[in-house]
């Protein structure tokens, strides 16, 4: 059972990934076109970080995505799941 904020089972995680994929596929180019210079404000504790769209993507979002994907991969490998580079990179 989910604790309301995080998934606690693989079934819940798979369902969340499915919902996220469906949501991402619903977005259109028009919804993000021109957002390279849009100001993005991100609350961080008591502070607020402000980015322009393109630097936010390149220097905040992408490094975080790579970090979390790599960390999940490492945890799975450490736990005995047989994964290799091809599993990490995906199918061409």
**74 and 87 share a domain?**
yes
Q: Which domain holds residue 4?
A: 1-33
**40 and 83 share a domain?**
yes
**41 and 78 share a domain?**
yes
**50 and 10 share a domain?**
no
pLDDT tens, residue by residue, 72-85: 999 999 999 998 88
pLDDT tens, residue by residue, 5-62: 788 888 998 999 999 999 999 999 999 899 999 999 999 999 999 999 999 999 999 9
**16 and 42 share a domain?**
no
53 and 40 Cβ atoms separated by less than 8 Å:
yes
Which pTM was predicted? 0.69
Helix (H, G, I), strand (E, B) or coil at 52: strand
Q: What pLDDT does residue 11 have? A: 92
Q: What pLDDT does residue 92 have? A: 75
Task: For residue 4, name the pLDDT band (cuts at 50, 70, 90).
Answer: low
Give per-residue burial for 41-64: e unless 16+ CB within 10 Å, then b. Answer: eeeeeeeeeebeeeebbeeeeeee
Q: What pLDDT does residue 1 have? A: 44
């Amino acid at each position: 059972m989910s604790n309301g904020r995080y998934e606690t089972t693989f079934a819940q995680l798979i369902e969340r990934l499915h919902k996220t994929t469906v949501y991402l596929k619903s977005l259109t180019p028009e919804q993000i076109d021109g957002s390279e210079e849009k100001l993005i404000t991100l609350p961080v504790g008591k502070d607020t970080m402000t980015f322009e769209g393109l630097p936010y993507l390149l220097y905040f979002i992408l490094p975080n995505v790579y970090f979390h994907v790599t960390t999940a991969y490492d945890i799975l490998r450490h736990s005995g799941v047989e994964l290799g580079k091809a599993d990490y990179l995906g199918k061409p």
